[in-house]
Amino acid sequence: MVFPAHDYKGDTVSTIGEEKRYNPRLQVRGAQEYADLMNNLNLANPKMMDVAVPANMHQGLVQAEIARRGWAVSATEAKGLLGRSDIVLVDLRERAERERHGTIPGALHAPYPALRENIADGGMLHELAAATGKQLLFYCAFGERSAMAVQAAQDAGLSSARHIEGGMDAWKKAAGLNG
């Protein structure tokens, strides 16, 4: 899993496999050809560099800490929570990710880039949790963004917020579906 620093049509996460298959800049025969290609593109500095670099360096660390604090549920446990009136699933993925990899029926779509706004006082998720007492159960593609979302939600006073460890990838595996 990688977090791109450039704007890739709104995608905020990818995988090494997806990039090798679909990124035209990786369709080269070696490191020197890649360096020559990139040096001749004259690209501006990536807008998301300050977000992407730390996210790429800390993958897995946030999820482990969130699990240690008891704020994570497995995909199998999450499946058992479907349909409960006290739980709301919150899909943090971008629209393109949802179209490409599917959704969990009934989940609320609240993309990660708008998280701070949504969990602040008066924000959609904050008000939903406060007015209904529902537990927010975040998920994303692989669990990294949802783990960061749980920490942010906890910091915003939403003490019942949890996330699905491993995200949609784990959800599909728990259902016996491939990738």
Q: Report yes or no on whether pTM surpasses 0.75.
A: no
List phi, psi (to 5°) of 163: -145, 160
Rounded to 10 degrees, what is the CA torsion of 64, 68, 69, 72?
60
CB atoms < 10 A from the CB of 121, how many?
A: 9
Q: How far apart are CA 1 and CA 61, in angstroms?
A: 13
Residue 7 has pLDDT above 70, yes or no: no
Share of the chain above pLDDT 70, in %: 84
Residue 2 has pLDDT above 80, yes or no: no
Cβ contacts of 87 within 8 Å, gap of 6 or more: 81, 134, 135, 137
Closest CA to 8 of 122, 94, 112, 118: 94
Residue 11 has pLDDT above 90, yes or no: no
Burial class (CB in 10 A: 0-12, 13-18, 19+), 85: exposed
The predicted pLDDT at position 179 comes to 45
pLDDT: is 83 or 6 the higher one?
83
The predicted pLDDT at position 146 comes to 93
